[in-house]
Amino acid sequence: MGRVRTKTTKRASRLPRLTLDFHTNKRIIDEVAVVPSKRLRNKISGFTTHLMKRIQRGPVRGISFKLQEEERERKDNYVPEISALDTSATGLEVDSDTKALLEALNFDIARAPRRERRNVPGAARS
C-alpha cells in the first residue's frame, strides 16, 4: 500500500470538524468516510492532522476553505491610502549627507542623468 495522496485526504476530510489531535481525527474519519482498511484510515488521519497543523501556521497550497478564502480576498483587495512608491505626493526626501555627496559628484537631484541605450550587436529588438 502506498502513501496517502492529498486528494484522498481532501475527500475524507471535513475541515471544520477536524482537530490537531490524531486520535480524534481518526474517529471523525471513521464516521464520515468509508475507508477499506484500518491502516489506510490511520494514514489518512495522520496526514489530515499534519495538514491541520500546517493550516494553523498559514495558508496551504491546494486547500481552501472559507476562512482562508476570506483572508486571501481581504489581502488582495487592500489598497493603501498613500502609496509607498508614489513620490509625487510626498516628495523624495534626501538627508543632508546624501545631498552633500550628490553635490560633490555634480549630480543634480531634480534632473537626474538618463541612461542612454547602447546598440549591442546581435541583440535585435522585435
Averaged pLDDT for residues 2-25? 71
Mean pLDDT of the chain: 75
- Position 5 scores a pLDDT of 64
pLDDT for 1 beyond 60: no
pTM above the 0.75 mark?
A: no
| Amino acid making up residue 1 | M
Q: Is the Cβ–Cβ distance between 33 and 12 less than 8 Å?
A: yes
pLDDT for 114 beyond 70: no
pLDDT for 84 beyond 60: yes
CA dihedral 47, 52, 58, 62 (to 10 degrees): 50
- Position 35 scores a pLDDT of 85
| Amino acid making up residue 71 | E
What is the C-alpha to C-alpha distance for residues 110 and 123, in angstroms, rounded to an integer? 33
Q: What percent of the chain has a predicted confidence (pLDDT) above 70?
A: 63
Quick one: cell of 78?
487592500
What is the C-alpha to C-alpha distance for residues 47 and 84, in angstroms, rounded to an integer? 42
CA dihedral 58, 64, 70, 72 (to 10 degrees): 60
pLDDT in tens, 91-105: 677 788 988 888 898
Averaged pLDDT for residues 108-124? 61
What is the C-alpha to C-alpha distance for residues 24 and 107, in angstroms, rounded to an integer? 69
What is the C-alpha to C-alpha distance for residues 59 and 81, in angstroms, rounded to an integer? 26
The third-level CATH classification (topology) of the domain covering 6-76 is Diphtheria Toxin Repressor; domain 2 (1.10.60)
pLDDT for 49 beyond 60: yes
- Tell me the residue length of the chain: 126
Confidence band of 116 (pLDDT split at 50, 70, 90): low
